[in-house]
Structure 1
């Protein structure tokens, strides 16, 4: 079982961001943490999670490191008894709020993986993305992270902005080799409804640089294992890999989603409403067909692939295998379960391939 914990607070809202987050909200911190702790405890008990039953925890946002480290003591107390011995506990962070003290405190509590929102190494691109840190801040932040004890370190970068080109990405991403990274998430800029970029009707770039990004990161030793994710030496994000393998997960915090069995749930999105009723969930009951289609859509995005028995269209499957767009293998998933799987030769074609197989 996976556990997701949402921290909805930010110092500012970036133009491209459509995530559930709020600014100027410090007065809510204590009440939110109290509600969150009650939610985590009740959720783990209601789903009858046994000690050791949580194999991955992901604390996302928002900006989790805007919350003072002391608050996390209570949060961790509510789930640590349920985690497995090798549980991966990830936490997201923003460059401009990283301190060695905060990182060391989280590491001591049990966090063993940290993801940093770098986004870019170009000053003009950081300004376009409305990020509040400088290039110098990035290297200072990673120094603090290392000194705090973290070795499993990831960063996010964004490409396909109007400022990007093949040459600029080659120059920009050379900086990644200077950081102690085991994982990189490289996201093509999306203009989402609900973001300021979306409200301005800012157009997405016509040039897609995904293949160039894969080439550059591959040359740096990072292998692609999902559409937007790259790792060195198999340092995959276990939590996200669990999502792509359609594993069950519990979501706690404002707007957090979960899925256990055939029921998908969502907590109240507004932090104040969530504080007033942290246990409230809207529910969506998924059919067996819904779960099958979701497993195909997610599985084709990553190296785990799709279980062979989920595919119904034998003719289309044979066609895609013959054209070498898919391959059939026998391997173990991230939990060690062996089976026959269909894997996309190029995960960038995942959505197109899913349409043929569903």
Structure 2
């Protein structure tokens, strides 16, 4: 009953979580924590350290303070079993699966934006250097041409992502059982018993239970993050391709855009360790990093819907601004040749473009 009341308090957001202490904890074998921050490595490590110190103090008090035995008492393993709780109760997904899913989604978004964003940039540069653009813009509006490039390449990216997702799910569901056989079955039994590492490696446990279920609203949010993030960065890459005149200049001109993307990946590690920190919340709200960081947080911890909506609205506004800005640069730069434009010249392009 006490555990049910504690679970209810977590669901009502009165507390973050609760510890289950039993005879195994007194022996120093294991302790179980269930809470909203069960995926936060920093919080779990802090809780484990507190429990270890209390168990050590109890041992020393029971046997008397003997300096020769303090070091021996301090050395004992404490296996931490965690269970995340959300608004609907205990999360049936596996923590390892959630961590893997969050990292995979964020990394996949980054890869797709970089690969296909640069493909758009090089396509624009090729049309400009071969003078094909001069023929095309004589019959097609530059705004329509830019939109067509982003839309066409974006659909290719979405198709590739969907194919990867379908093949990955099929491989985890059917291929793992065929390749590993009894090892996967043992890992599934161990995971169901609450000991994911007992049946073998954590990877086998993940293959045994598969990826955790993702709610429909989270799936929609992940899809919107990808689409809006791709449009935002693709329009910037297209503007870079229209600005320069050679492959040597394009890498230097694209550096500021790449820095915006790389900064998100650099902070993925600290954010995965503590997805509820102020830094994680801030970066998930910035339009430049939200397409990558917000999906990472959604799959790790319960994120308030107001933060998700706010992040998507911010990215949508940034998309509108980048499309307007890139469209004006694209309109002028596509037919401009010679030296690379300075910041002042870019400002004049934006100001006088029609």
Compute the TM-score of the two structures, normalised by the length of structure 2: 0.21
Greater relative contact order (Cα 8 A, min sep 6): structure 1 or 2?
A: 2
Compute the TM-score of the two structures, normalised by the length of structure 1: 0.21
Kindly name which structure, 1 or 2, has the bigger radius of gyration based on alpha carbons. Answer: 2
* Higher helix residue share: 2
